[in-house]
Amino acid sequence: MSADEARPAPDGPDGPLAALAAHGPRYRLGLGTPPPGETGWLAADRLLDPYGPELSRLLDTEHRGSGHRTAHAAALTLIAVYAGRVTAAAVLHWALTGRVLDVRPENVLLRPDPGHGIADVRLRTLRTLDGPGEDDGAGTLQNAVLTRHLLPLADALHQRTRAGLRQLRGGVAHGCATALGASRADPALLARRWAAFLDGAPGGLAPLGDVVTVTRRDGTPRLVYLRRTCCLFYTSAEAVRCLSCCLTSRDDRIAAYGRRP
């Protein structure tokens, strides 16, 4: 098999999907065709057309739901929450198992949240992608998550709204990296996995933020991501900064992460 070919997940749907869901709602993935009566689902591959109705609906929903003043700001918020919900489960699964779930856009359905972000994500088929072997699947993950999915979406949002491409890609990096903070695995291991994911990755993501280990209030060490770009969520109706906001000092961000339970 080539790196773009797929095979059924080895443990069946109750294996990897149940393990991911245990990390929290953000990592919960449905499987197959949505149940009858469920409406509002979008095919992820249709979002890559900058002027298509699917991207219009997703962007407009975020624009209205977050109370943003401009489509530019809505696009920057959208790409960060999209990466942190639609493809983050694949990043986390790979970091913990070395296996790459197929989250190429043609295999993904999603439903926007009328308030903010993405409410639900489904895989059409549960399968893993064969990697080249020598990089432990990092190149395969880059292809599925970045080359095929998030970077084309960032390009489409840039073309549609003129939001800055560097800021959009910063949202991509942030959404991917925050998946690692969901795990209680050794932060040093997760940091190495993150470095492997960034090594040679397209899009110039490496300089857009960095990861550090903090000890949370419950005494557990966690890996957190500190952004160097802004998603402008603080300009929305919520008028609050993200915990990782680059407008907040590095020391204050680390301290805030440490106060989390």
Length of the chain: 261
Amino acid at the residue 231:
C
Q: Which residues contact 11 (CB under 8 A, 6 or more apart)?
A: none
Domains identified in the chain, total number: 1
By the 8 A CB rule, do 146 and 201 touch? yes
Please give the chain's pLDDT, 261 residues, in tens: 444 555 655 555 568 999 999 999 999 999 999 988 899 999 999 999 999 999 999 999 999 999 998 999 999 999 999 999 999 999 999 999 999 999 999 999 999 999 999 999 999 999 999 765 545 899 999 999 999 999 999 999 999 999 999 999 999 999 999 999 888 899 999 999 999 999 999 999 999 999 999 998 888 999 999 999 998 888 888 888 888 899 999 999 999 999 987
Q: Which residues contact 37 (CB under 8 A, 6 or more apart)?
A: none
Give the per-residue pLDDT at 7. 61
Give the per-residue pLDDT at 131. 61
Give the per-residue pLDDT at 24. 93
- CA 96/CA 152 separation, integer angstroms: 26
Nearest by Cα to 179 from 145, 154, 135: 145
Give me the domain span that covers residue 49.
Answer: 6-258
By the 8 A CB rule, do 244 and 175 touch? no
Tell me, yes or no, whether 229 lies in a domain: yes
Beta bridge partners of 212: 224
Give the per-residue pLDDT at 3. 43
Where residue 174 sits, what CATH number does that domain have? 1.10.510.40
Give the per-residue pLDDT at 135. 59
By the 8 A CB rule, do 154 and 79 touch? yes
Tell me, yes or no, whether 1 lies in a domain: no
